[in-house]
C-alpha cells in the first residue's frame, strides 16, 4: 500500500477530480498542509531509496529517469502551498513555511548528498556516449549529474554535513527576509485628512485611496501605503512635495528600521553563508559559483556586460536630470532635484514634449481588454485559443481560469490569473508553475497549470481596473513567461517550461513586451472603458514617440540594482559588512547620480535575498539584448506575426531546458544577438 492510500481524505494528496488537473484549492484547509508535506516527503524518500537499493546495473531509465519522476506528489503539494503563500498568505501559512523549509532542505540534501545514489548517476554519466541517447536524454543525464556535482555530491563527508546546515539556515533566512518585507509593507499607513494636500492627484487615485481609508476605519480620509499601486500616482502627479518624499522614503526604507522587521542582519548572515557555500566548492565568491550554470558563466563576463550598457544609460540619465532640474527651478528657484521629484517632473516634461498624459491613457487600458489583447497576440503567433472556465477550484475569488487549446481543439493547459493586491500577497508580479508539463513513460503528455500573479489597481465603485502603460507591459511580460510554461513539450519535468538558465528565462517574457506597443496590437485591446472608442492614432503616435523618453532613468535604476547585486555576490568575505555603507560604496563606485534611487535597495531586494535571482538580476538586461534582437527578426519580415518566424520562436519556447540556451537562440535567429537593437530601442544610439 502506498503512503497516499493512507491519506485519501487530504485534498492535497489526491489526484484532482476536474478534467484540467487543477488542484482542489477549494477543499484545502490550513491543517491539510503540514500532513501533506510530511506524507509527500516520506513518499519521495521511499522512491529515492528504491532507486538506491535497485540491484540492477544503473541505466538511464532506472536511475536518471526514475529520479526525474520521483517526487510528483511533493511537486503538487509544493505547487499549491508556495503559490498560495506568495499570493494569499497569512501568519498561519508563514508558520507552516518555517516548519516545512528545513524539512525540504533536509530532503534535498539527503538526495543530492546520498553517495550511493550519486555513484549510480555517475555510472550512467560516465557511460553516456555509449548509450545511444537522443539530444534531450543526453541533456537530462548531464544536467542531473551537474546538479549533484554543483550541490556537493563530490564533497568530503565533513563538508557535506556543513553544506546541509548552510542550506537549512539559508532556507529559513529567505523566509524571514520575505516575511519582514511583507510586514513592513503592511505596517505603514499614511492618512491624509485634507484633500487640499492631494492637489494634482487624479480623481481615480483619490477614489482608490478614499476606499482604502474607509476600509481601514478612517472614512472621509485618504490612505496611502508602500504598495506601488498606492504611491506611484502620488509620485507622478501630486504637487505636495513633502507627501511625495514621505511615500517614496517609506517604500525605499522598508526592512531598514532597526526593528523586529529589520533585514540588515538577515542580509549579513545570508552573505556569510553564501560565501562559505561557494568556497566549499572552490569558488572565491558566490557569484562565480552561481553563474557557472548560466549563459554568462562568470562574474567578469557579467561585469563587462553591465558596464557596456551602464555607461550610455548613465549619460542619458544625466541629460534627463538636467532637463528636469530646469523645470523644478521654475517652480522652486534654488532647490535641487531630488529622487521624489523625478517622477513628478518627468510626467510634466512628458506632457510638454509629447502632450502625453498617463491619466489620458488609462481609460483605454481596462484590465480585461488588455488581457484579451495579450491572448490575441498568442493566438496570432501560435494558433492557440483561450476559453474562460467557470466553477473550477481557485484559492481566492479574484482568481480567473482559462483553458488553452490549439486551433484544432487539442488541449494545451490551464492559465490562472490573479491580478489585484491584498494584504497577504507579496509585492510585484510573477509566473508560477502550479503543475509542470512532462511526458510519462506511456507517452501521455501531462499538460501544465500555470499562474500569472500581479498587483494592479483594483476596481473601485466608479471605475473598472485601469492600467498604466507600465502595467500593460507587466501583464504582457508575465504572460510571456506563462506561454513558456504552457507551450512546453519536454519529456522530463526538470527540463520543461521555464527550467532554463536564469539569463535566458527572461527572453520569452520580454519578447512579449514588444507587442503591447505595436499600433496594430494596441488597437485590439485599447478601448475606452466608457465609450468603447478604440484608442486614436494620435495617442498611439504619442506613446511611440515617447517610447525613448526617460529611458536613461529607467535603465539606470535597473542596472544599478544589477550592479549592486553583483557587488554583494562578488564579496569574498562578509566580515565587517555594513549593509548601508556597502550600498553607498557600490553606488559611489558606479557613479550613480543622487537624483535616482536604486530600484531595489538591499533590505527589500526580494529578487536576490528571497526568490533565487542572486547574482542574477543582470538577467533582465542580458535577456533584453536577446528579446530586442528576436523581435527584430519579425520586424525584418515586415509582418509582426510572420508564420515561419513564429514557428521557429514557438519551437524555442517548446524546448524549455532540453537544449543549450545559446544553441537554441542561434537555431532560431541564425546568428548571434546584436546588442545594437536594444541600444537603439532605448534611444542611446541612432
* 95 — pLDDT class (breaks 50, 70, 90): very high
Q: Quick one: what percent of the chain has pLDDT higher than 70?
A: 99
8-state DSSP, 225: -
**CATH class for domain 287-365+460-686?**
mainly alpha
Percent pLDDT > 90 in the chain is 93
Q: What is the CA radius of gyration of the chain?
A: 25
Residue 237: band (very low, low, confident or very high) from pLDDT cuts 50, 70, 90: very high
Same fold, 4-112+114-154 and 287-365+460-686: yes
For the beta carbon of residue 673, count every other beta carbon within 10 angstroms: 22
- In the predicted structure, residue 123 carries a pLDDT above the cut 90: yes
> pLDDT at position 611, please?
83
pLDDT > 60? residue 630: yes
The mean pLDDT of 10-32, rounded to a whole number, is 94
Rounded Cα distance between 506 and 502, Å, is 7
Q: Among 43, 75, 270, 478, which one carries the catalytic annotation?
A: 478
Task: Kindly give the pairing relationship between strand 449-453 and strand 411-418.
Answer: parallel
Cβ–Cβ under 8 Å, residues 342 and 596: yes
Q: Can you give the pLDDT at residue 173?
A: 97
Summarised one tens digit per residue, pLDDT across range 193-217 is: 999 999 999 998 999 999 999 999 9
3 pLDDT more than 50: no
Mean pLDDT of the chain: 95
With 80 as the cut, is the pLDDT of residue 120 above it?
yes
Query: Do 253 and 263 contact (CB within 8 A), yes or no?
Result: no
Give the pLDDT confidence of 378-435 residue by residue, as tens digits.
999 999 999 999 999 999 999 999 999 999 999 999 999 999 999 899 888 999 999 9
Mean pLDDT over 604-627 rounds to 94
- Answer yes or no: are the C-beta atoms of 610 and 178 closer than 8 Å: yes
Which range, of 117-126, 361-370, 424-433, 486-495, averages the lowest pLDDT? 424-433
Measured CA to CA, the distance from residue 593 to residue 430 in angstroms comes to 30
CA 455 to CA 120: how far, in whole Å?
A: 46
pLDDT confidence of residue 5: 43
Would you place residue 8 in the very low, low, confident or very high pLDDT band (cuts 50, 70, 90)? low
Mean pLDDT of 265-274: 98
Instruction: Mean pLDDT check: name the lowest of 5-14, 51-60, 257-266.
Output: 5-14
Instruction: For residues 166 and 172, give the distance between their C-alpha atoms in angstroms, rounded to a whole number.
Output: 10
Task: Note the pLDDT of residue 7.
Answer: 55
> Span 613-626, mean pLDDT?
95
Residue 268 · residue 573 · CB < 8 Å:
no
- pLDDT value of position 215: 95
pLDDT score, position 686: 77
Confidence tier at 6 by pLDDT (50, 70, 90): very low
pLDDT in tens, 30-67: 999 999 999 999 999 999 999 999 999 999 999 999 99
In CATH, the architecture of 4-112+114-154 is Orthogonal Bundle (1.10)
Predicted pLDDT at 362: 93
Residue 612 pLDDT: 85
- How far CA 79 is from CA of 105, 303, 432, 655, in Å, comes to 16, 35, 8, 22
Q: Is the dihedral of CA 342, 344, 345, 347 positive or negative?
A: positive
Whether the Cβ atoms of residue 153 and residue 112 lie closer than 8 Å to each other? yes
Active site residue 478: yes
Which residues, at least 6 apart from 274, have a Cβ–Cβ distance to it below 8 Å? Answer: 170, 286, 569, 614
The 3-state DSSP class for residue 570 equals coil
Identify the band that residue 4 occupies on the pLDDT scale cut at 50, 70 and 90. Answer: very low
Q: Where are the domains of the chain?
A: 4-112+114-154, 188-252, 287-365+460-686
Q: How far is CA 467 from the centre of its chain?
A: 19
Q: What is the mean pLDDT of residues 319-333?
A: 97
**Residue 264 Cα distances to 179, 253, 343, 564, angstroms:** 14, 11, 28, 15
Model pLDDT for residues 328-367, shown as the tens digit of each residue = 999 999 999 999 999 999 999 999 999 888 888 999 999 9
Mean pLDDT of 514-533: 97
pLDDT at 241 over 50: yes
Q: What is the mean pLDDT of residues 578-591?
A: 98
Closest residue by Cα to residue 211 from 222, 202, 201, 200: 222
Amino acid at each position: 500500500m502506498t503512503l497516499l492510500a493512507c491519506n485519501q481524505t487530504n485534498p492535497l494528496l489526491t489526484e484532482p477530480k476536474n478534467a484540467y488537473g487543477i488542484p482542489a484549492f477549494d477543499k484545502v484547509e490550513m491543517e491539510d498542509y503540514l500532513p501533506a508535506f510530511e506524507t509527500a516527503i516520506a513518499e519521495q524518500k521511499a522512491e529515492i531509496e528504491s532507486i538506491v537499493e535497485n540491484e540492477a546495473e544503473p541505466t538511464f531509465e532506472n536511475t536518471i529517469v526514475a529520479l526525474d519522476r520521483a517526487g510528483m506528489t511533493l511537486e503538487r503539494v509544493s505547487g499549491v502551498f508556495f503559490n498560495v503563500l506568495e499570493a494569499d498568505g497569512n501568519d498561519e501559512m508563514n508558520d507552516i513555511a518555517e516548519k516545512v523549509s528545513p524539512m525540504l532542505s533536509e530532503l534535498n540534501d539527503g538526495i543530492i548528498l546520498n553517495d550511493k545514489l550519486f555513484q549510480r548517476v555517475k555510472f550512467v554519466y560516465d557511460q553516456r556516449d555509449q548509450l545511444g541517447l537522443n539530444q534531450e536524454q543526453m541533456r537530462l543525464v548531464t544536467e542531473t549529474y551537474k546538479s549533484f556535482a554543483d550541490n556537493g555530491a563530490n564533497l568530503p563527508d565533513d563538508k557535506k554535513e556543513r553544506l546541509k546546515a548552510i542550506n537549512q539556515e539559508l532556507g529559513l533566512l529567505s523566509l524571514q527576509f520575505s516575511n519582514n518585507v511583507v510586514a513592513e509593507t503592511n505596517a505603514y499607513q499614511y492618512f491624509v485628512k485634507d484633500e487640499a494636500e492631494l492637489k494634482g492627484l487624479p480623481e481615480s487615485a483619490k477614489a482608490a485611496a478614499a476606499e482604502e481609508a474607509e476600509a481601514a476605519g478612517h472614512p472621509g480620509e485618504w490612505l496611502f501605503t508602500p504598495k506601488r499601486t498606492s504611491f506611484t500616482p502620488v509620485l507622478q502627479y501630486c504637487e505636495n512635495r513633502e507627501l511625495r518624499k514621505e511615500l517614496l522614503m517609506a517604500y525605499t526604507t522598508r526592512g531598514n528600521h532597526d526593528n523586529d522587521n529589520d533585514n540588515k542582519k538577515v542580509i549579513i548572515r545570508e552573505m556569510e553563508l553564501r560565501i562559505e557555500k561557494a568556497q566549499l566548492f572552490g569558488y572565491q565568491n558566490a557569484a562565480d559559483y552561481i553563474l557557472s550554470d548560466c549563459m554568462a558563466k562568470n562574474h567578469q563576463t557579467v561585469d563587462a556586460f553591465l558596464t557596456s550598457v551602464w555607461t550610455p544609460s548613465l549619460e542619458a540619465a544625466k541629460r534627463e536630470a538636467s532637463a528636469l532640474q530646469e523645470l523644478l527651478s521654475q517652480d522652486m528657484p534654488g532647490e535641487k532635484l531630488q529622487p521624489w521629484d523625478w517622477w513628478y517632473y518627468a510626467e510634466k516634461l512628458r506632457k510638454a514634449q509629447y502632450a502625453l498624459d498617463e491619466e489620458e491613457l488609462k481609460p483605454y487600458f481596462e484590465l480585461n481588454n488588455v488581457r484579451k489583447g495579450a491572448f490575441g497576440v498568442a493566438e496570432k503567433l501560435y494558433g492557440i485559443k483561450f476559453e474562460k472556465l467557470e466553477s473550477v477550484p481557485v484559492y481566492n475569488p479574484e482568481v480567473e481560469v482559462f483553458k488553452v487549446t490549439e486551433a484544432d481543439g487539442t488541449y494545451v493547459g490551464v492559465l490562472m490569473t490573479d491580478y489585484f493586491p491584498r494584504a497577504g500577497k507579496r509585492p510585484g508580479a510573477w509566473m508560477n508553475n502550479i503543475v509542470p508539463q512532462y511526458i510519462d513513460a506511456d507517452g501521455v503528455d501531462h499538460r501544465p497549470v500555470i499562474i500569472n500573479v500581479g498587483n494592479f489597481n483594483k476596481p473601485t465603485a466608479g471605475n473598472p481596473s485601469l492600467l498604466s502603460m507600465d502595467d500593460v507591459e507587466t501583464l504582457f511580460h508575465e504572460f510571456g513567461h506563462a506561454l513558456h510554461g504552457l507551450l512546453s513539450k519536454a519529456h522530463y519535468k526538470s527540463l520543461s517550461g521555464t527550467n532554463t538558465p536564469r539569463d535566458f528565462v527572461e527572453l520569452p517574457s520580454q519578447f512579449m513586451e514588444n507587442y503591447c506597443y505595436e499600433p496594430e496590437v494596441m488597437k485590439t485591446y485599447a478601448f475606452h472603458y466608457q465609450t468603447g472608442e478604440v484608442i486614436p492614432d494620435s495617442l498611439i503616435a504619442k506613446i511611440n514617440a515617447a517610447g525613448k523618453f526617460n529611458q536613461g532613468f529607467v535603465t539606470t535604476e535597473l542596472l544599478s540594482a544589477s550592479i549592486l547585486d553583483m557587488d554583494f555576490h562578488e564579496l569574498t568575505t562578509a566580515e565587517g559588512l555594513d549593509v548601508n555603507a556597502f550600498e553607498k560604496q557600490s553606488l559611489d563606485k558606479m557613479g550613480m547620480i543622487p537624483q535616482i534611487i536604486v530600484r531595489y535597495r538591499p533590505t527589500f531586494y526580494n529578487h536576490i535575498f528571497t526568490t533565487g535571482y542572486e547574482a542574477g538580476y543582470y538577467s533582465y538586461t542580458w535577456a533584453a539584448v536577446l528579446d530586442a534582437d528576436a523581435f527584430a527578426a519579425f520586424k525584418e519580415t515586415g509582418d509582426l506575426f510572420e508564420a515561419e518566424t513564429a514557428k521557429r520562436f514557438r519551437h524555442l519556447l517548446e524546448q524549455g531546458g532540453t537544449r543549450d540556451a545559446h544553441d537554441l537562440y542561434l537555431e532560431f535567429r541564425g546568428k548571434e544577438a546584436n546588442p545594437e537593437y536594444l541600444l537603439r530601442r532605448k534611444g542611446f544610439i541612432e
